[in-house]
A and B are shown apart, each in its own frame.
Chain A
């Protein structure tokens, strides 16, 4: 940029931000424009074509958005609740904690299941990543990361490696060795490199590629072997907090949610942002695909969870209740997609009927916010990790389906501060 002192001839209100500042006299296609230097820089970075001003851009994007809303509405001929009326009502849901995994010294931030349906990897604030056999509650491996706040961890599809990362801005892959004396940290491989914290990571269909999302506003696909960046995805205007890979037959897309209240669907091959949904009122903390891959659910700080349909290109359901005032941190579907489990910052887990939009049950048991929640690969149970340093596996005790049955909450009694010990 040129030295401003020579160019600032006038002082007055800026055309764009309306503040009194030294103005730079610009001419865009013989039209005089008086911008302050800050707005000028912004305009230059945005690559305005001739004849455009920030104001006109703003107006244009608003009209386009309205048009988009209208288009989406045109094909919306029925609400999900109406369609779901003929679905059978769900019976009483009775879930109990069956295993409590204790061993983290600090908040549990993230967890993932192994494909063998019983192993879990979990990461916590103090930098420890532990692999458990949840069935026996034994710890099988433990790694201490050289960073705190390990916010993302994932199990490889083969079960032979784990990936994790957090405030170190990197995603590291640790092959799981069974030699008890071997130091897992020695075999660590640094795969992803971001410019801000790592918020989520997942392996794609094999051990060879990792998809990561970061606080620097981007997501990226990496090759594990070489650490090379295969594709990066730009489009969020704030931290990307979560991502999920699509289970569709072509397996080429993933969805990410961020602090900019948007959920974006991306094409893995081209890096393009294919679809975008921005109906949330606050940060989106978690996104998960519906088992068929045609929709996804999101959990947000605005205390609601929403269901977005990809083919209809709109939000189709909101799961919220007046008495729920705290943000939702994590969601997952049951195997058939009928139930949606959501963990909240008020230490509870709410179970929603996806089709009817009603709450089926509320589960207590954690003593601090529920940070992550995943259903096991075969759907027999789900595990929730919390800031109270534990992971709890909740499994169904009985479930009967009687049409029109009244809902009843059957969680264990809440009374003393230490009720969570089971």
Chain B
């Protein structure tokens, strides 16, 4: 639970002496915040507003409206006793006394929800009701003997406190915090073991790590739509989905940015289904396509259904690892031995070592050659750079926003067609607006 605790710092403010001592204007609060935290006026207003809502400052003129007005409406600091962060438990008894006082002081002063609460409390703690009324009367009598200014201050303080703690139903409840979080005792022994292990880690120098962040950000700068915009236009701004349609999986000609991205890292190439396809074509030319097929099969094993694991392991063995297999992959003998041993007790991660070996093989060997190949260069040359759409003359005219077929529907369609490849358009616009 964070405490917006800054009451003390505010005391350095200029104080206005009015009938109410130690009051300040809303404007003062904002000015001071701007100065102290070096923030804009908007932020200062927002922050000040929150202080009022949480009850650290309360308005004098219109106590029920918990807003910070940036004019000369007076505000006061709440006494620390009533601060939200002190979490003084607001007991029912106290609330009852407060409401009773209000009732006695002036008939009809209680607002609707307060009247309701009053009657509920009356029923609930009826056994102490005499005590409540007596306390209320005593407190009122004591306050009559105070100076008028003090009395008003005390009343305002109390009222502000209860406005926050028992808000009007339907209004904002700042004390709403969500489900409770608990803490459990930690085990020292586990901590010690963990620290010991951590000491043995290999660490990399900060300079190297941080340089890599710089490089990464620079490399991806033009691919980040928020930083560099996107062509032809950001669909959310222009309501034009062409940016999505030209980047779908099955599009005929990919965009330049997309093809460039394949050269950033091997993972980027594999993650893009079109990239993967192109890479496969290249490998087929080089007669090493079985590597990629093996990798794909291993991924399927790792992430697929648990029930099919044994079946898949067998297939992988049959197709890729068995001596004389149709697409035998070239793994070093130690890994092969280990994998074959492990196949006797197949589980999800059994192919990990072999998969890793083949992955790095492709990454170090085939991937760099692909990037230098004619195939890739042609792809890059063919790739389109979409035109930036000119902003329309009437910016207020909003385009029709078309819905797109849900991915769930697309998959259903492919299933119906018996898993035919490339069935169903993805991401193209249709004019049906589905509504629930």
Could you tell me which A residues sit within 8 Å of B by CB distance? 42, 45-48, 54, 57-58, 60-61, 64-65, 67-68, 71-72, 75-80, 83-84, 86-87, 90, 98-99, 114-119, 133, 135-136, 138-142, 149, 151, 158-160, 167, 175-178, 180, 197, 204-206, 208-209, 215, 217, 223, 225-226, 228, 230, 235, 237-239, 241, 249-250, 259-260, 269, 273, 275-276, 282-283, 290-292, 294-295, 301-303, 309, 311-314, 316, 321-323, 325-327, 334-339, 345-348, 354-355, 362, 364, 368, 375, 378-382, 387, 393, 395-397, 399, 401, 409, 411, 413-414, 417
Contact = CB atoms under 8 A, between A and B. Distances in A.
A291 B406 contact: no
B12 interface: no
Contact of A178 (B37, B211, B408): B408
B203 A205 contact: no
A411 B305 contact: no
B147 to A, nearest CB: 35
Interface string B163-205: 0000000001000101101111111111110111011010111
A48, A114, A381: which has the most chain B beta carbons within 10 Å? Answer: A381
28 contacts: A77-B206, A78-B206, A86-B214, A98-B237, A118-B235, A135-B235, A135-B404, A149-B179, A151-B179, A176-B406, A177-B408, A225-B306, A226-B306, A237-B185, A259-B181, A269-B352, A312-B205, A326-B50, A335-B224, A336-B227, A337-B213, A338-B224, A354-B213, A380-B234, A382-B226, A396-B225, A409-B40, A414-B45
A80 B219 CA distance: 18
Given A159-B407, A312-B203, A316-B209, A42 B185 contact: yes
B406 A119 contact: yes
Contact of A64 (B195, B410, B412): B195
A172 to B, nearest CB: 17
Interface stretch (B115-123, B240-248, B326-334): B240-248
Given A140-B436, A396-B237, A64 B224 contact: no
Given A75-B206, A409-B40, A136 B6 contact: no
A41 B429 CA distance: 66
Nearest to A293: B267
B368 interface: no
Nearest to A398: B229
Nearest to B4: A325
Given A380-B230, A417-B67, A77 B207 contact: yes
Contacts of B191: 61
B82 interface: no
Given A239-B182, A323-B43, A399-B229, A87 B217 contact: yes
Nearest to B239: A135
A230 B307 CA distance: 13
Given A117-B244, A380-B235, A237 B184 contact: yes
Interface of B: 1-2, 4-6, 33, 36-40, 42-43, 45-47, 50, 67, 172, 176, 178-179, 181-192, 194-196, 198-199, 201, 203-214, 216-221, 223-230, 234-237, 241, 243-244, 247, 265-267, 299, 302-307, 348-349, 352, 356, 359, 401-404, 406-412, 426-427, 433-436
A99 B224 CA distance: 20
A135 B401 contact: yes
A409 B42 contact: yes
Contacts of B348: 230
A275 to B, nearest CB: 7
A382 B199 CA distance: 39
Contacts of B305: 208, 223, 225
Q: When A and B form their complex, which 7 residue pairs have the shortest distance between CB atoms, in order from nearest?
A: A159-B407, A336-B220, A206-B303, A237-B186, A323-B37, A336-B224, A64-B195
A354 B43 CA distance: 21
B204 A238 contact: no
Contacts of A42: 185
Contacts of A411: 42
A292, A314, A321, A334: which has the most chain B beta carbons within 10 Å? Answer: A292
Given A205-B303, A399-B227, A338 B2 contact: no
Nearest to B248: A116
Contacts of B39: 323
Contacts of A206: 303-304
B183 A237 contact: yes
Nearest to A295: B213
Nearest to A131: B406
Given A61-B192, A346-B50, A379 B224 contact: yes
A227 to B, nearest CB: 10
A317 to B, nearest CB: 9
A417 B39 CA distance: 21
Contacts of A67: 195, 199
A182 to B, nearest CB: 12
Contact of B213 (A76, A80, A159, A283): A80
Contact of B189 (A57, A362, A413): A57
A334 B42 contact: no
Given A294-B209, A396-B225, A323 B47 contact: yes
Nearest to A412: B42
Contacts of A311: 203-204, 208-209
A249 B267 contact: yes
Contacts of A90: 227
Contacts of B186: 237, 260
Contact of B356 (A76, A175, A250, A397): A250
A368 to B, nearest CB: 8
B164 to A, nearest CB: 15
Given A141-B436, A321-B37, 8 more contacts: A72-B203, A75-B204, A78-B206, A83-B207, A223-B305, A235-B190, A316-B210, A335-B225
Nearest to A56: B188
B234 A395 contact: yes
B209 to A, nearest CB: 4
A68 B191 CA distance: 12
A98 B398 CA distance: 12
Given A61-B192, A115-B407, A140-B434, A282 B2 contact: yes
Contacts of B407: 114-116, 119, 158-160
B214 to A, nearest CB: 6
Given A176-B408, A260-B186, A345 B226 contact: no
A273 to B, nearest CB: 6
A134 B48 CA distance: 33
Nearest to A203: B303
Contacts of A301: 1-2
B214 A83 contact: yes
Given A46-B187, A64-B195, A142-B436, A380 B236 contact: yes
A399 B209 contact: no
A68 to B, nearest CB: 6
B207 A223 contact: no
B412 A178 contact: yes
Nearest to B243: A380
A276 B216 contact: no
Contacts of B207: 77-78, 83
Contact of B210 (A83, A133, A313, A346): A83
A116, A119, A283: which has the most chain B beta carbons within 10 Å? Answer: A116
B406 A178 contact: yes
